[in-house]
């Protein structure tokens, strides 16, 4: 493979690009235009995130945990951002249902949910890296965390 790439970083960048394209497509398919309702669809997106990490651990690690500078590679940055935009779109849709008071910024909500997803994926993709066994399924953990988070946003005195 090295004869097709300038160096190891170019090879890793191409693998990460392929990974982000597949990842973004999986998230978009899971979102399915927010059907049957945005909250259920968002939970599917989270499950899709975890499924991708479980089914493609080496690719997932290359995408998120390698030494690549995504920002320094415009083609890679574009596909990585496109996958995040699926979650941002989902959060925009969910926040549209908030009827009382000001709404939190969709970007902030998307970053929080992305962080939850990424953290849970990190705990379960490589169980050998977890300091101790986790007694709950990753999908259940993520779903509970997202629902609690969204309910907390609605209950916030500012919202």
Report the pLDDT value the prediction gives residue 81, as an integer from 0 to 100. Answer: 96
Distance, in Å, from the CA atom of 78 to the CA atom of 142, rounded to the nearest integer, reads 26
Distance, in Å, from the CA atom of 109 to the CA atom of 153, rounded to the nearest integer, reads 9
Residues above pLDDT 70, as percent of the chain: 91
pLDDT in tens, 136-152: 889 999 999 999 999 98
What is the token pair recorded at 47?
């499950």
Report the pLDDT value the prediction gives residue 159, as an integer from 0 to 100. Answer: 42
| CATH architecture group of domain 2-155 | Orthogonal Bundle (1.10)
Compute the mean pLDDT over every residue in the chain, rounded to the nearest whole number. Answer: 89
Q: What is the largest CA-CA distance in the chain?
A: 59
pLDDT in tens, 72-122: 899 999 999 999 999 999 999 999 988 777 788 999 999 999 999 999 998
The domain locations on the chain are: 2-155
What is the token pair recorded at 92?
């925009």
Burial of 94: CB neighbours in 10 Å, binned 0-12, 13-18, 19+: buried
Taking residues 7-29, report their average pLDDT. Answer: 94
Q: How far is CA 121 from CA 46, 50, 55, 158, in A?
A: 10, 6, 11, 31
Report the pLDDT value the prediction gives residue 125, as an integer from 0 to 100. Answer: 73
Least confident of 10-14, 28-32, 99-103, 135-139: 99-103
Check pLDDT > 90 for residue 6. Answer: no
Q: Are 118 and 14 in contact (CB under 8 A)?
A: no
pTM of this structure: 0.88
């Amino acid at each position: 493979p090295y004869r097709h790439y300038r160096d190891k970083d170019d090879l890793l960048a191409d693998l990460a690009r392929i990974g982000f394209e597949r990842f973004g497509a999986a998230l978009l398919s899971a979102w399915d235009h927010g059907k049957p309702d945005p909250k259920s669809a968002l939970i599917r997106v989270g499950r899709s995130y975890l499924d991708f990490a479980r089914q493609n651990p080496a690719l997932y690690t290359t995408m998120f945990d390698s030494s690549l500078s995504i920002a320094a590679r415009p083609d890679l940055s574009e596909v990585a951002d496109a996958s995040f935009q699926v979650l941002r779109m989902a959060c925009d849709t969910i926040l549209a249902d908030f009827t009382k008071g000001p709404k939190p910024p969709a970007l902030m909500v998307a970053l929080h949910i992305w962080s939850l997803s990424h953290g849970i994926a990190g705990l379960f993709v490589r169980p050998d890296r977890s300091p101790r066994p986790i007694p709950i399924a990753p999908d259940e953990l993520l779903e509970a965390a997202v629902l609690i988070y969204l309910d907390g946003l609605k209950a916030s005195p500012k919202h």
